[in-house]
Structure formats: structure tokens, C-alpha cells
Chain A
Amino acid sequence: MNIETKLGLDVFKIDTEPHIIIDQQICRSCEEKYCLYVCPGKLYSINRETGDMEVDCSGCLECGTCRIACVHGALDWNYARGGFGVQYRFG
């Protein structure tokens, strides 16, 4: 089962504002780009046109792995606002 299908099983209440803000300047100078593969939802990607790092907050599991893995401090990371984001039914 691919990751998009898996995330499609979860209940998300999608906010219009992203809860993770990426500092592109720090990202550009980062060689490792750990965020691209540590996220269990595979939500980080590089925009082909702009070269910017992007994160799809609407499928965020709010685990915080990227916050810990981004050793360069490029993430202004917060949880989804109250009443938004993933709502686990089983947990």
C-alpha cells in the first residue's frame, strides 16, 4: 500500500494556514536534507520549478520527527491549531 493511500485512511481537519514554516535560505545550504526521508508521511519534497523545499501540512501526522531531524533549525514547527490536523480514531 503506498503512502498516499495510507494517509487517505486517516481523518484530517485541514487548516488553511500551514503549521510548519520552512526557512528556504537554511534549506538551500543544507546538504543532507534529512526531512525528505525521515517523515513517516513522506510529506517533504523539492519543488522542481523553484527549488524550494515544500511540506504538505494537510497530511501531517504531527509526530515531530522532522523537527528533531532538522539539525540546522530550518523549521518553525508547531502543532496544527486547536481543532485542526490529524484526529486519530484508534491511536
Chain B
Amino acid sequence: MTDADEEKVEVVVVGAGLAGLSAAYVLAEAGIDTVVVERGDYPGAKNVTGGRVYMHPLRHYLPDLWDDAPLERYVTRETITMMAEDSSTAVTLDTERFREQPYHSYTILRGTFDRWFGDKVAEAGAFVLPKYRADDVLVEDGRVVGIVMGEEDEIRADVVVAADGVLSLMAEKAGLREPQQPKHYAVSAKEVIELPAKSIEERFNLGSGEGAAQLYFGALTKGMLGGGFLYTNKDSISLGIVVGIESLLEKDPKIEVHDLLEEFKSRPEIRNLIAEGETVEYSGHVIPEGGINAMPRLYSDGIVVVGEAAGLGLNMLLTVRGMEFAVASGVMAAEAIKEAREKGDYSASSLVRYEELLRDSFVLKDLQTFRHILGFMENPRLFNYYPQAICDIFTQLMWIDESPKPNISSTVIREALGKFVNWSTVKDAVGILRI
């Protein structure tokens, strides 16, 4: 860039992910002079999701955006699979509500989606600047007044929106966050596996355009906090594994994430679903799981923090959420900036409005409600004992051989009493009540 020293805009957004682009979209629509700085070659180049996005919150916060959005498949079948060593038990929800428009959730690939969203943001009037990495916040008299890029370039702004993802070096450099602790984060490894649409629809029992979302927990993470996921895209499958970083550090003997993913892929439950598929991409991502206990400060003089940079993610075991928090927080940051602009005051006492909006919304309410869930999920029994116990009971019920079969009620009652009524399980049940 030339004459960068002289450059001054109203808002500079660091990171063209969902949170940053959502903020920029609302700001640009309001005629506010906005630049989005993105270190990748294009928006989405550095972004990874599982992934599936829940649409109702998105439609609420960005009502006009979705008609021609390049989403993958609308999810009509939700499956949770509990995996034991050599068996698994699955529960599937298929409800007509998932087929009612507007659809509840879609599978998504961020390389496609964010690139499209970046174009929308540019059409709305923001300037999207790819291939530039923000290196630091520019601070004068104790307040953030812009960003520094490389040795020479800087962009001055009334306010910086830190949307630079889960590691948020911007929030850290602005002094809003302590060093990140392994216990608050998980690592994910994912493959995108191409398969013809017809094969996907046959294998997963889907109509045209319909999608499947599957979560797996149990033996696949060897007692560690985490699980597997599978989402059907239009003509590919996103398949991956997530493990808590602290669990991984403490694991003995040591095991690597990509090996866990390979073992997961080779299980009969998975290998038939991806047979003849061709892996076309491998990705890694860190996921914030510390919830409300691990968030940075959300604002300061001249800066707000949004999306994963703000630690906005929630693993609720049966559902994993983040992208709708990203969009909602980006929009609320933009609303707070619009109010600050009217007052001509971008200090912390004005930008506190952003946190107030978040507190009054589902974002911080859900994080508050589920504040104990990480502690609950750190229980290894959840990932080894219970899936094994459930699979053992089902195996007993289903297995027929030449010996006389006890009646079903005695099998279930005897097994259930033995496996589910003891000191540990009662303690775990009390744990569930706290969630």
C-alpha cells in the first residue's frame, strides 16, 4: 500500500471470517467507512468449520442476506452415535420440522461461503483487503487508534474490530486477554472427502438437497474429552475429530490427533459411508470450549472483540455451536459502533454498549446457562464407561444363540441396575442436573 501512514478510516475490521464480515456488512450498509483486513488470499482462505450453521439466529441478525447464499445441504437427519470399542449405538432424529422452510440448519464449507460473503460486504461498500496480516494494534495515549501491518503499513481508525479468530493476537496485544490455557481449547482435524451427490443421498437416506449431521462420542477419543463429526455437503463429506487440548497433553500413552482421525475413518460405522470417496483437503482448527469462564475483555477504548476471538463457542455435547455466535456478535458490535459514532465517542464507556447487547441476547445467555458443561464433560466416564455400557445392553438384547434367552425386562433391569446405579453414576447424574 502507498501512503499508508496517512490512511484513516472509521472502522478497521481484522479478519474476514463470519464475525468480521457480519460487522463490516452492517457498518457498510449504514454508510460507515469500513476496511476489512484479511491475511488469506481471499475471505475463507484461513477459515475452518466442522461444519453446520443454525439458520434461525442468522436470519434474525442478518435478514436480507440468505437467498442466494452458497450453503450446502439443509439438515433433515440428526444422528448421535455412542461408540464402544467394537460396537456402537446410534440415535437418529428425523422430523418434518427439519423440512419446513425456512430451514433450521445447513451444512457449510467456509472456503465457498466466506468468499461469497466477502463479495457481499464489498458490494455493500466496505473495502476488503486480502493478503494483509495485521501484526499489532496501534496505541496512542492508552487507547487503540488503528492497526500495524508489517514494518511500515498502518491503518488508523476510530475503532478496531478484532475478528481475528480463536487465537486473537489482536485482543492479546491490546491487553484484553491472558495467555490461553490448554484446558479451555480443543483441537480439531478434518478431511473433506468428495463423493457424488447421488451416493451421498443413497448412503444417508436423504432426498435431493437434504443433509445429514452426525456426532460421535465414546471410544474414538480413548477416554479423552471430544468426539467425531460428519456432515454431508452437496458433493462431499466433512469428517473430523475434536479433542480437548489438555486431555491430549495428559494422555498416556501419547496419541496424535491425525492418528485418531485415521482410526475413526477405519471403523466399520464410518468406512462404508466414505468408501470410494476421495479426500481433497485436510485442515486443523482450534475451538474455544472454555465458555464464559475463558472469555477476554470484550471491549476497550477504540476496540471491540467478536466471534471466536471473543471465545464465543459452545460445545453442548449434542450440538456444537459457534458460527451463529460469530454472526450475532459481529452485528451487535456494528450496532454498538453505530451508536458510538452518533455520540462521537469510541471510548470504553461508550463501547460497553456492545457487551450490554451481547448480554441481552442468546449469545451470552447461552454461554451463561451452559457455564458448567465443560466441567461435566471432563468426566472420562462419559467417553468410555457409558457408551460401552449402553452398547453392552443393546448387544445382550439383540444377540441370539442356542441358549435360552432371559426375558427382556429381566435383561434390561438387571443390566441397567448393575451399570447405571452405583456411586459414580449417581454422582454423574447430579452433574447433569447442574448443566
A interface residues (Cβ-Cβ under 8 A, vs B): 1, 3, 6-7, 9-10, 13, 32, 34, 37-38, 40-42, 61-65, 67-69, 71, 73, 78-83, 85-91
Contacts and interface: CB of A to CB of B under 8 A. Distances in A.
B283 A38 contact: no
Contacts of A32: 249
A89 B254 contact: no
A64 B167 contact: yes
Contact of B258 (A6, A68, A78, A88): A6
Contacts of B180: 67-68
B182 interface: yes
7 contacts: A65-B185, A65-B286, A81-B133, A88-B40, A88-B46, A91-B48, A91-B110
A21 to B, nearest CB: 14
Interface in B108-122: 109-112, 114
A41 B182 contact: no
Interface of B: 39-42, 44-49, 109-112, 114, 130-133, 135, 149-150, 166-167, 169, 179-182, 185, 187-189, 191-192, 236, 245, 248-249, 254-258, 262, 279-286
Contacts of B236: 90
A38 B111 contact: no
Contact of B112 (A41, A73, A90): A90
Nearest to A62: B46
A23 to B, nearest CB: 15
A88 B110 contact: yes
A88 B279 contact: no
B167 A67 contact: yes
Contacts of B49: 91
A10 B47 CA distance: 13
Which of A7, A38, A42 counts the most chain B CB atoms within 10 A?
A38
Nearest to B37: A82
Nearest to B17: A91
Contacts, number: 141
A91 B115 CA distance: 11
Contact of A1 (B112, B133, B262): B262
Contacts of A87: 40-42, 45-46
B191 to A, nearest CB: 7
Between A34, A37, A78, the greatest number of chain B beta carbons within 10 A of the residue's beta carbon is seen for A37
Contacts of A86: 45-46, 283
A6 to B, nearest CB: 4
B375 to A, nearest CB: 19
A72 to B, nearest CB: 11
Contacts of B245: 38, 65, 68-69
Contacts of A3: 258
B28 to A, nearest CB: 22
A80 B133 CA distance: 8
Contact of A91 (B111, B133, B185, B189): B111
Most B CB contacts (10 A, CB to CB) among A69, A71, A91 go to A91
A34 B243 CA distance: 14
Contacts of B133: 79-82
Nearest to B132: A82
Nearest to A41: B284
B130 to A, nearest CB: 8
B110 A13 contact: no
A71 B246 CA distance: 11
B183 to A, nearest CB: 10
B117 to A, nearest CB: 12
Contacts of B167: 64, 67-68
Contacts of A79: 39, 46, 133, 169
A62 to B, nearest CB: 6
